[in-house]
Homo-oligomer: A and B are copies of this chain.
Amino acid sequence: MQIWVICVGDEILRGHTLNTNLAFIGDTLAREGYSITRECTIPDEENIIAATLTESLNSADLVITTGGLGPTTDDITRTVAAGVLERPLQFDPDILAGINAFLRSRNVSVPADALRRQAMVPTGTDTLTNANGTAPGLWCQLDKRALLMLPGPPRELEPMFRTHALPRIRQAWPAHLATRTCEVCGLAESVVAERVEPVLEAFPEVRPAYCARPGQLTLTLTAHTSQREELERAFAEVHPPLGTHVLPADCKTVGAAVGKLLMARSWNLATAESCTGGAIAKAITDVPGASAFFCGSFVTYANAWKEACLGVRPKTLAAHGAVSRETAEEMLDGLLARDGVDAGIVVTGIAGPTGGTPDKPVGLVFVGTGFRTVRRVERCVFPGNRESVRLRTVAVALNQLRQSLLAVGDEA
């Protein structure tokens, strides 16, 4: 089955907007066993949209468009599609009533002609309800093929795709690929491949894919739906060589996995951050419900704050510098001494681009984690620019605490 995606929008081509809609649709389809054959991003220009639609409808089973369904005059996908399909636009009073109800609920007013434009749909097209906006999605069945038109804003597109489009796709084209994924942290991509690929030699029908981010990697195994049992066995067998580097199935991020371990012990976590400037606390609180285990963070950017908040001794800072094992150890002791803190993470380092020396290069970070009598401070040197150093520090720090918690098991 061929799925072609057309994203309409100058803002993507100009680099103002990252194409998160493609990532969302690609990821959602992949989980269902479908894959996108081609994606095109084109400007809001009538002749280019028409040419791309025509080419795509001649080649693909399912064509998905995003964007250009809104109320303004540059939203022309609907009109161009009607022309290409030779299905004239018709006014649908039910759509207009739905849009009016949505706008009343939000106390928003929109010019009448803009509303009416959104209520025009190509003849013989099904509309998909938009729970978070005015423009409905459109599903146009063409014999065995289909054209699916989705609005551009992600908060409108995403629920519409999941709720209304996916069931139609599943019904029209039963999936032929099955996939299983897991999250792996703390191992380089080449190391994961070295451990996974020998296992997969026994499963020639199962293909691996690796998608690496700083400190974390998504491992995806894919097979034809007729090979589902082999896929499940292969998925089970790649786990032992990866050990505790695999996150629990219900945790997408290492922050969520740390939270799960802490909540199981009813422990509270606090952090003290220098070079990450709050990014570890942010990563922890990105997950809803973090207040169940997270008390807070001291972002001690200035040395005076390291002394005042964490009790780091001026002597230590003078003798060893803020970026040193000794300072990290005192930060950790000070943090764990605070009331109600059961487990702690501290980092101090040089994120760059300036501030490095031959002894202490940019990318040098001391990562400390601890709880009860357990203390661990590691010296790390991360490659890359400021953002990369900070992202890796966050991932490594959270994983270091996670590994320590797993190592003590239920003893602590």
Contact = CB atoms under 8 A, between A and B. Distances in A.
Contacts of A16: 23, 26-27, 209, 211, 218, 220
Contacts of A353: 288
A191 interface: no
B277 A299 contact: no
A285 B297 contact: no
Given A12-B26, A14-B220, A296-B301, 9 more contacts: A11-B211, A13-B36, A14-B209, A16-B26, A38-B41, A38-B48, A278-B279, A281-B301, A297-B301
A296 B303 CA distance: 10
A30 interface: yes
B13 A35 contact: yes
A256 B106 CA distance: 34
Interface residues of A, number: 77
Interface stretch (A77-85, A135-143, A325-333, A379-387): A379-387
Contacts of A387: 286
Interface in A7-42: 10-20, 22-28, 30, 35-42
A385 to B, nearest CB: 7
B18 A23 contact: yes
Nearest to A106: B383
A298 interface: yes
A91 interface: no
B11 A15 contact: no
A268 B304 CA distance: 12
Residue from A11, A338, A384 whose CB has the most chain B CB atoms within 10 Å: A11
Given A15-B27, A42-B38, A300 B296 contact: yes
